Amino acid sequence: MKNLIFVLSAPSGTGKTTILKILKDELKDVDIVVTYTTRKPRPGEKDGIDYNFIEIDEFKKKIEKGELIEWSIVYGNYYGIPKDKIEENLKKEKKTLLIIDTQGGLKIKKIYPNAFLIGILPPSLKEQERRLRERKDMPEEEIKKRLSFSKQERDVIRKHYDIKLINRDLRKTIEKIKKIILS
Ligand code: ADP
């Protein structure tokens, strides 16, 4: 059976936001499913594009109604994937790309064993830290928290993901992702 569900996970500072923005333009036939979150948008983030930003009450209603295929708490905020979209795409044999964290990725793999997990890794820890700082949109404490959490994420990617891509050259990384999804 062919792969219809693709998961893309990238620890903070590896280039997830940058990669997603380009893929949205270049993968028109693939449905990129955006996560619901209760966290507040960062500067430059757009509702419905980067995430669906919702209030905690609304999120809890979605959990109760069973509208989310999976949800997790990361850095104290809720994140969840809408169920209807994935099921609808599977019926139509349309490809879905989920941009989610590694906890979410493992859950998706359990529910859909045919899902293909793509993990993005930084060229080095030093470079990951540099990229996080370059964004200039996070207090020092948040940067430290993300760097320590991303160790776990890198470990999950190394152990459980179907393919690991090191985001050294952005254009090459994009081409590799496109090849995997479109082949
Ligand atoms: P994330 O969403 O994973 O935290 P971003 O996409 O915001 O990461 O990227 C963090 C910073 O790293 C941004 O300033 C971005 O321009 C830069 N960046 C992303 N990919 C690369 C790359 N391959 N080489 C150099 N810099 C990159």
Mean pLDDT of 49-68: 92
CA of 31 to the centre of ligand 1 (A): 23
Q: Which atom of ligand 1 is nearest to the CA of 169?
A: 23
Please tell me the pTM assigned to this model: 0.87
Question: How far is it, in rounded angstroms, from Cα 146 to Cα 129?
Answer: 9
Q: Predicted confidence band at 112 (pLDDT cuts at 50, 70, 90)?
A: very high
Question: How far is it, in rounded angstroms, from Cα 124 to Cα 134?
Answer: 15
Q: Predicted confidence band at 1 (pLDDT cuts at 50, 70, 90)?
A: low
Find, among 171, 127, 167, 172, the residue nearest to 147 by Cα. Answer: 127
CA of 132 to the centre of ligand 1 (A): 7
Per-residue model confidence (pLDDT) at position 38: 97
Residue-wise pLDDT tens digits, 33-51: 988 999 998 766 778 767 8
Question: Is pLDDT at 3 greater than 80 in this prediction?
Answer: yes
What is the share, in percent, of the chain residues with pLDDT greater than 90? Answer: 66
Choosing from 8, 9, 17, 18 the residue with most ligand 1 atoms within 8 A of its CB, the one to mutate for a pocket test is: 18
Question: Is pLDDT at 171 greater than 80 in this prediction?
Answer: yes
Atom 27, ligand 1: which residue's CA is nearest?
15
Q: Which residues line ligand 1 (CB under 6 A)?
A: 10, 12-18, 131, 134-135, 167, 169-170
* Average pLDDT along the chain: 91
Q: Which atom of ligand 1 is nearest to the CA of 14?
A: 3
Question: How far is it, in rounded angstroms, from Cα 97 to Cα 108?
Answer: 12
Atom 11, ligand 1: which residue's CA is nearest?
131
Residue-wise pLDDT tens digits, 119-149: 999 999 999 999 989 988 788 888 898 899 8
Say which residue the tokens 């964290």 belong to. Answer: 101
Give the chain's domains with CATH numbers. Answer: 5-182 (3.40.50.300)
Question: How far is it, in rounded angstroms, from Cα 19 to Cα 15?
Answer: 6
